[in-house]
Structure 1
Amino acid sequence: MNKYFSEKKQWRFLFLLATCFLGCTITFFSCAQEKTDGSPAGYNLAAPKKYNMPNILQEISGIAFLNGNSSTVYAEQDEEGKVFVFPLGSKDYTHTKFAKNGDYEDIAIAKNRVIVLKSNGDLYSFPITETKKTETTQTVETKSILPKGEYEGMYADPTSGQIYVLCKECKQDKKGKYTSGFVLNMHSDGKFVLAKKFNVDGSSIGKLTGRKKGAFRPSALAQHPITKDWYIVSAINKALVLTDAQWKIKAAYHLSSNTFNQPEGIAFDKAGNLYISNEGSDSQYGNILKFVYQRSKK
């Protein structure tokens, strides 16, 4: 009898041990998953407010706001040399033709000028007042200022007017782990001059997201108006990367395909709310996702 209860206790102990192990394993992987698919402080990347785009912006790329005011969106898409202006949440829009058709990747606003980045690194700028017209003749082009390569991400500092551009794929980056970046100054006539260069070391992104990401291929960037961290989106890597003001990576987050179809643009409003634009597909509209910023209480 004693032997029976002894064996019974042993089996019960083994059962409890196995249950505990299983529970700990599940907890471990749940925590690891949460860490991998988490969100930057103040945001919940799993709970956006979605704004579907009109058909003309099915391939929406970059987005920008004037003075951090998100009530009006300035956007462009990959194929037409047009800037689109519309109230956030509305499918009614106006557009301004600023150049011939081409592969335009990002948009920014600084010193009351609209700036558009072409995939080859060429830059176009024109007065923001021209967006009231269907076509502008005041476009200023700056060509061949950046090394040959493919470019998708650009940000304009609203105070200094400096322009930050990141390579998506440039020849000088192919053999290294760094992604090249460039800072440009804008003259009063809307032309640009190269001010300095910088690098982003993307080698830690795969480890931080818990997924094999391959080479870092940025598609958009913006600076947080409050923390001053840089937020960089990569559509190919399906990642959101955070760096400090000196471009050192602080964190990286996997962007789920269930939420982010093809993230191509990023912007903040003056309250710190985050907006990411996504190109559409055969089964999805192009959209802008808004993530409300919740400041930590200290």
Structure 2
Amino acid sequence: MDNPRELTLPSKAVICEVAPRDGFQAITNKWIATEDKISMIRLLSETGVKNIEITSFVHPKAIPQLKDASEVVQACQDLTQINFRALVPNIKGAERAIVSGIKKIKLMLSATDSHSLSNANCKTMEAQNGFLPIIELAAKEGVKVGGSISVAFGCPFEGKVPKERIFQIVSRYMSMGVDEISLADSTGAGNPKQVYELLGYLRDCFPSTLFTLHLHNTRGLAIANAFAALQQGIIHFDSSIAGLGGCPYLPGATGNVSTEDLVNAFHEMGVETEMNLDKLIETAKAIKLKLGEIGDSYMLKAGPTSLLYEKQTGQHKLEN
């Protein structure tokens, strides 16, 4: 008989690596050579990851670091085992992405009007209405579309976002034919109780919608928030190798939850990701060395739990 106190979690989770977009765009003090971006993406492709957010097709003046988006995408077309997606802000970005070979695009939207005015120079509803030509183009070209809601768990201008506001935005996405929606904790303001309750509410309201989580670790709660999401049956997560990232438009916003930390936590709980943790740590070290960035990764500081023990005479002995 099952133990009624035993916690039941999903048996697997699907991770999308976002360092080539979220991580690289946060590096503003130096140019990352195009060939270096490509080589790091190739390293990531060897970790067992199946999904990579490879870049963003924003205007080069907005994010100069990603002005080579087309070249990067075209150079990685031979990595057919990877599902690539790109962030697009408008129809021009969508056109560039599709011409470059992208088969899945992700839309950019803020949960609050204040953040939207700061980020997109228009209010949320106006920005969302502007997605219609993008969605029509994607449908014509056979390209998948995912939606996003930035600052979904806390806005730097307006504080916590009411669940009714998120409901309104998701409803609008669904009416436009977008049924995959990423909830982004862009400021790292979310907490496990908040994440659990909001996801439970949204899953009850929109049972056919695929919700994904994009977590930043600004206040050290990203892993706890991912655990709360797992308890609500959410299995799709974004993460960034070595914890690289941080929105250039959000002061103090540190990087995404690190991929190696998230995979370690999931594997320790019996949630399979089909990713190789040792290879992830090796890749994180190489990318950190290449970029000279500190990032935020417990695996790079302490290593996986398995390293705490060594086998001696058939027993495990705790290292001093």
TM-score, scaled to structure 2: 0.29
Higher helix share: 2
* Structure with the higher strand share, 1 or 2: 1
The structure with the larger Rg is 1
